Structure 1
Amino acid sequence: MNSSLFAVIMMLAVLIPSGMQAQAPATYYNSAYGKSGKALKTELHEIIKSGYVTKSYDFLYTIYEESDTRPDGKLWDMYSTCTWTHGQKKCGNYSTVCDCYNREHSIPQSWFNERSPMVSDAHHIYPTDGRVNGQRGNDPFGECANGTTLTNGLGRSGSSTFPGYSGRVFEPVDEYKGDFARTYFYFVTRYEDLMSTFSTSSTSFSGNAYPSLNSWSIALFLKWHRQDPVSEKEIVRNNAVYKHQKNRNAFIDHPILAEHIWGTLQGSAWDVTGVETPAELLARVNYNANERSMMVAADLGELSYEVVNISGVRLLSGTLLGGDAVSMGSLKPGVYFFRANADTLKAVKKFIVQ
């Protein structure tokens, strides 16, 4: 990589957190405090439904320019390794991966009969390669150990190997599994009042307002949610969609909510204390490119961490105290992910070693 291109990428990477400006008002979730389980989910439904602004299906491409842009300025595609320029090579017809990109309903349209407002809700519709989108079809997300991956594609299709379901599924790559899990948590909360009208045949849905997801999907998405913490990419996207739709994905803002609704904290009331959001955590963990070190703010307390490469291989791990720094000097030039864990809160920061 030449020095001028690297400088541009680094500048864009630094600018990404500025997309966090369109954050929720401080009181956005106040009415949900003190609730758990079904009551908490219903209150979140009321919060993220209130004030929702329906946008047209075509307007998604406009939102994508703010919500789904990589650090190098290209469109962010979670289904392929292709390089896309916003507004160019929209599908159309396709025969192979990298022919064109389109709008992927992570919750397939057939599950809700292509109805509005679900059909154009940007929180669950991502720009993806058309061929891989077609490979997935209307299959639910799942795990398929022996699935098929297309050339230049990300993810695989095949028979489910996750307990509780044996049908055909699409498995995204590990880097984005948490993204899709939190997308499903959002969808079944936002549309809680319509869940009884959605399909339950070969889907992730249970056909009721609570828990809304069937048992194997709850187990699957909680697993992904825990293994793949909220990233800066998700925070930027959540803020960009909020700017246009005026509602948020609560499970990106407060990942612990999933545990209070479906997981290990169902009987415990949600209470916000201390550093609660991934955005707050990431703001306290910063990479110093000149010193090649990751620095932790003094007010953070104890933090466990691991550093993985783009293939998910763990290279470093340990524990830091507020005000400490850990050297990244042993890493070769490349892209890495710093996974931070402060108590029950986790977040991922992407950084580049030159």
Structure 2
Amino acid sequence: MKKQFSLLVLLFVCQFTFSQIVINELDCDTPSTDDKEFVELKSDTPYFSLDGYVLVFFNGSSSGGDSSYFTVALDGYQTDINGLLVIGSDTLAPFPQLLISANTIQNGADAVAIYSGSESDFPEGTLATQTNLIDALVYDTSDSDDSVLMSLLGVTEQINEGSSNNTNSIQRLQDGSYVSTTPTPREVNDGVGESFIAISMATDQDQYNEGESFDIVFSTEENVTEDITFSFTLDNYGFNASDFSGDTTVTIPNGFNSVSTTITLINDTVDEGDEELIIKYENLNWPYIANNNFLKLRVNDDDFTVAPFGTPLNPTYGIVQSTQPAGYYDSLDGLADAELHQALQDIIADPSIVRAQTYADVIDILKEADQNPANSNQVWLLYTEQGRAKLDYQLTSDSNGKWNREHTYPRSRGGFYSIEEDEIADGVDVFWTTKADSLRHGNSDAHALRAVDGPENSSRNNKNYGDPILGGYNGPENTLGSFYGDVARSVLYMEIRFNGLQVVNGFSEDTTGELGDLATLLEWHRNDPPDDFEMNRNNVVYNWQFNRNPFIDQPDLVEYIWGNMQGQAWDQELSAAENTTLQVEVYPNPATNMVYVNGLLSPAKVEVFSVEGRKVKTYPINGNTVLNVNLSTGMYLFKITSEDKATVKKIFIN
């Protein structure tokens, strides 16, 4: 028995002695977008199975605490004929065998290590350890040595890749030493290895319309010495063989270096939304490998739908009705001041009803709640007042032309933050219980998150709202302010929904829990009343969170809590009567000097405001009227009041 046991131990040791796997190359920092970082593993033998191994990345910063931040299970993968396996994003060339998201690998001082084990052995935040350790590399980008991390991993040297934005990679040499030099993914660092032939794919454009045709060109750097036949696929989620025609098997003939095939996109009558096809190699065999792969093309669907209500730039009112349950606000009647505030919070933060979703779920919520009424394939961007394709959500550090999630009550001012579970979009039926003290859940409250242009989100930063001269934010130049009321109501909602938040007068310092300027937001609310777009998004968010923004359903509540009705008891029926919209037409829009007001049967008053809320003109009128406004170019708000009824129209003056 002892001999048999010793033999088994010897075999086990020999397996790891003669079939070892090491970290062969690491590129942790690439210039600009950081999208071509990779790790390369190397086995002593070719086609080595990586079942039972896991790759773990450790954060050596003070906040990271030398603990794991990302783990890759290697089960199901094997090295190639040179014993190599490359792990990187789909922008790396040659194309990696194992894909991870771009900009995942941190610069340093950090570490990457191979372990015998499984992904579950290393939940996020696991302290670096030598238990079951196979190989480790502690590295930096001209940072000080992390002696604690080296000690934890049993490493005596920290390898420098170069300064920030360097063009190097760290490469292991045959003698076990390291050198920092030009990256060589899928190539042996030193010594002799089998050479590969990389095949590239390309198209003329990155997006096409249904009904159009395009060529895919496959090419090699040099003429091939034999016929090369291979196949590819275009499928991706809903895009499949019913959406195109054309050959998906091609041959590069002997003596040539390229071949092309034509794909025709079928123009159907189904509203599928814009789609993305992905061109993927199906059966490349060594020595042929993909130089690039997973080529993504946009297919624009011309069967989009148009909503029966307008965009915020061309608002409509009264078409979309609130889906609030009967009696939703009844508990507010007769209350004022602090009691009204508390009763309202009891409704919208009721832990027995209200749900909190993940930050990843918010992306799906916004695709529905902020859908462009003029094109169902787009979201409407809050500050820049334009539509953008839903598919253009920002996934990398490059935000140009992309949209992302904007906290109208800035995250840094609110004290919100994400946790690991926030990275999972688990759908409407999986949620957290939440209450007024659950301030962390402000991070993913969709009533205060909007789809915005990526660069504009960065420009907005965490400024107070109001006069830019005083350090506030009024939106981009040359926009019409269609978002003012929307922003005001979402920010005021947050003060009621979560304890610890306050909207204050003036321009608050960067103090957690405070945001200004209240006076500005009140004017924005008054001059830009809730429209159908805002009511629709209130209904959509309610379907996910089981709570509503009351200032969209009952705009006058703002006055009773912060405005000119403070101290007076709220009466829902009276407020509903006071809020009856005046049915009147104001045209043309855009206009020049002459503006027509039609639909009035009684004397009325027309007040003209700039989008900043400054009153510029007042006209007493008697019935239908033509106004010679003589205004400079820009957006104006026309408030028409008659017989205790009022309406606000946005008019652009050329």
Smaller-chain TM-score range?
0.5 to 0.7
- The 3-state SS of whatever aligns with 2:404 is strand
1:177 aligns with 2:469: no
Q: How far is 1:24 from its partner?
A: 0.9
Alignment partner, residue 510 of structure 2: 202
Alignment partner, residue 151 of structure 1: none
Instruction: Tell me, in whole angstroms, the C-alpha distance in 2 between the residues paired with 1:276 and 1:47.
Output: 19
- The 3-state SS of whatever aligns with 1:84 is strand
Report 1:224-303 matches (<5 A). 224-273=524-573, 276=576, 281=581
Change (3 A) 1:190 1:314: closer
1:253–1:277 contact (8 Å) kept in structure 2? no
Q: Match of 1:134, as an amino acid?
A: S
Task: From 107, 126, 136, give the equivalent of 2:409.
Answer: 107
Instruction: Tell me, in whole angstroms, the C-alpha distance in 1 between the residues paired with 2:333 and 2:381.
Output: 35
2:402–2:454 contact (8 Å) kept in structure 1? yes
CA offset digits 1:276-297 (Å, max 9, x no partner)? 2898537x567999xxx98769
Task: From 355, 358, 378, give the equivalent of 1:53.
Answer: 355
Report 1:39-188 matches (<5 A). 39-50=339-350, 51-73=353-375, 74-94=378-398, 96=400, 99-110=401-412, 111-114=414-417, 116-145=440-469, 161=470, 168-172=471-475, 174-188=481-495
CA offset digits 1:154-177 (Å, max 9, x no partner)? xxxxxxx3xxxxxx3322363222
Instruction: Tell me, in whole angstroms, the C-alpha distance in 1 between the residues paired with 2:415 and 2:643.
Output: 38
Please, which runs of 5 or more residues in structure 1 have no aligned partner? 146-160, 162-167, 207-212, 329-334
Q: Match of 1:202, as an amino acid?
A: D
Q: How many residues align structurally?
A: 303
Larger Rg: 2
1:20–1:236 contact (8 Å) kept in structure 2? yes
1:89–1:100 contact (8 Å) kept in structure 2? yes
Instruction: Tell me, in whole angstroms, the C-alpha distance in 1 between the residues paired with 2:462 and 2:547.
Output: 26
2:336–2:566 contact (8 Å) kept in structure 1? yes
- The 3-state SS of whatever aligns with 1:24 is coil
CA offset digits 1:219-247 (Å, max 9, x no partner)? 22222222322222222221221122111
Change (3 A) 1:279 1:349: farther
Task: From 191, 210, 220, give the equivalent of 2:498.
Answer: 191
Instruction: Tell me, in whole angstroms, the C-alpha distance in 1 between the residues paired with 2:407 and 2:396.
Output: 16
CA offset digits 1:77-106 (Å, max 9, x no partner)? 12225541123243422365xx21100011
- The 3-state SS of whatever aligns with 2:381 is coil
Q: How far is 1:303 from its partner?
A: 6.3
Please, which runs of 5 or more residues in structure 2 have no aligned partner? 1-301, 418-438, 503-507, 589-595, 628-634
Alignment partner, residue 21 of structure 2: none
Task: From 314, 320, 325, give the equivalent of 1:25.
Answer: 325
Structure number with higher helix proportion: 1
Instruction: Tell me, in whole angstroms, the C-alpha distance in 2 between the residues paired with 1:275 and 1:248.
Output: 18
1:339–1:348 contact (8 Å) kept in structure 2? yes
Structure number with higher strand proportion: 2
Change (3 A) 1:312 1:191: closer
Instruction: Tell me, in whole angstroms, the C-alpha distance in 1 between the residues paired with 2:453 and 2:447.
Output: 18
| Structure with larger RCO (C-alpha < 8 A, sep 6+) | 1
Instruction: Tell me, in whole angstroms, the C-alpha distance in 2 between the residues paired with 1:304 and 1:37.
Output: 31
- Relative to structure 2, which stretch is displaced further, 49-58 or 85-94? 85-94
- Relative to structure 2, which stretch is displaced further, 87-96 or 27-36? 87-96
Normalised by the size of structure 1, how large is the TM-score?
Answer: 0.67
Alignment partner, residue 283 of structure 2: none
1:49–1:190 contact (8 Å) kept in structure 2? yes
Change (3 A) 1:274 1:32: closer
Q: How far is 1:119 from its partner?
A: 0.8
Identity percentage of aligned residues: 28
